[in-house]
Amino acid sequence: MINRQGVFKISIGFINGRFISIEEEVIPIDERGHQFGDGVYEVIRVYNSMPFMADEHLERLMRSAEAVQIEPNQSLDQLKEIINQGIEISGLTDAEVYIQVTRGISPRQHHFPQCPASLSMTIRPVRLVSEELRRNGASVTLMDDERWANCYIKSLNLLPNVLAKQAAYSAGHYEAVFIRDGLITEGSSSNVFVVKGQVVYTTPLSKKILSGITRQAVIGLCKELGIALEEKEMTTEFFMDSDEIFITSTTTELLPICSVDGQTIGDGKPGSITQRLYTAYQVLYKGTKNRQNRVIL
């Protein structure tokens, strides 16, 4: 594809100071992200060449790194500059930026080595949710939450999430929603919201869930629109008896859920509050250029 300026739109990579072809093989065998999953990551959505809620994403990246005692070599401003350069080089206007920080490259040992952290990044065309799913709603399945106790860290260790997502996919569902101690936590790659009696509910923040950036945006939109919202621990029964359900993530945005393990939610169609919030979310990201926290090219 070629953009209006005649520049090829391409997926690109970045590792430790240089931009590379996405096909280039660059990960050393002793990279701790490869050996141990010893690192953290972020995914940022790009709309019309502008990274959306970049400050919030990068601040969370730094919090995750601090939680696992990794010291990135780049400041927030330097990370923004690298992201901007990558978007410009790629020529992509609508994209996903994946950023990964690991403890670095060192011969395999469990205790921390004395080496600089590694930074890698990819910029690829965005993966869009189908209009059919947006129009008709998706289905999810409930699963026991077998992940570690510190899900608030956006860690590379995602094997339980991957297994849950695959099990859901194999059974014909879009997502797996986790249950821990009888309570809904979150999806395998999403946060969960419920609408019941015109009130929006979502699981409160704790170490058991990730503080989703889209989750944060939706909570803000509820306040702006005058929609009642409560952060509440939800039982499986409360969840299944809801009027509406939707999930949120950077790449999924807001997606209505109309079926849980074969049981219809509400009238089986995307609900009015879900649709209202998604419309408001679209207005929010389309106004990215006017946001104070924008990344300036």
Cβ neighbour number for residue 54 with a 10 Å cutoff: 25
Q: What is the pLDDT of residue 25?
A: 92
Cβ neighbour number for residue 75 with a 10 Å cutoff: 11
The HSE-up count of residue 93 (CA atoms within 13 Å, CB side) is: 9
Average pLDDT over residues 190-216: 98
Q: Is the pLDDT of residue 293 over 70?
A: no
Q: Tokens at residue 156, please?
A: 């590379």
Q: What is the pLDDT of residue 296?
A: 28
Average pLDDT over residues 7-25: 90
Q: What is the pLDDT of residue 9?
A: 82
Contact 268, 262 (CB under 8 A): no
Average pLDDT over residues 46-52: 96
Mean pLDDT of the chain: 94
Q: For residue 129, give the DSSP letter.
A: P
| Predicted confidence band of residue 287 (pLDDT cuts 50, 70, 90) | confident
The residue annotated as part of the active site, out of 80, 154, 165, 208, is: 154
Going by DSSP bridges, is the β-strand pair 199-202/229-231 parallel, antiparallel, or unpaired? parallel
Q: What is the pLDDT of residue 6?
A: 47
Cβ contacts of residue 234 below 8 Å, gap of 6+?
183, 184, 194, 201, 203
Closest by CA position to 194, among listed 242, 266, 140, 141: 242
Average pLDDT over residues 239-268: 98
Active site residue 154: yes
CATH class of the domain whose range is 131-286: alpha beta
Contact 102, 117 (CB under 8 A): yes
Q: What is the pLDDT of residue 5?
A: 45
Q: What is the pLDDT of residue 149?
A: 96
pLDDT in tens, 64-96: 999 999 999 999 999 999 999 999 999 999 999
pTM summary value? 0.93
| Predicted confidence band of residue 2 (pLDDT cuts 50, 70, 90) | very low
CATH architecture of 12-125: 2-Layer Sandwich (3.30)
Helix (H) or strand (E) holding 99, with range, is: strand 95-102
Contact 121, 95 (CB under 8 A): no
| CA torsion angle 58 126 157 21 (round to 10) | -90
Q: Where are the domains of the chain?
A: 12-125, 131-286
Q: What is the pLDDT of residue 7?
A: 55
Q: What is the pLDDT of residue 288?
A: 59
Q: What is the pLDDT of residue 138?
A: 98
Closest by CA position to 13, among listed 102, 76, 90: 90
Average pLDDT over residues 90-107: 97
Return the ∠ at Cα 67 (arms to 63 and 72), rounded to 5°.
Answer: 65
Residue by residue, DSSP assigns 21-78 as ETT-----TTBHHHHH--EEEEEEEEETTEETTHHHHHHHHHHHHHHTT---SS-HHH
Average pLDDT over residues 215-239: 98
Q: Tokens at residue 234, please?
A: 């939800």
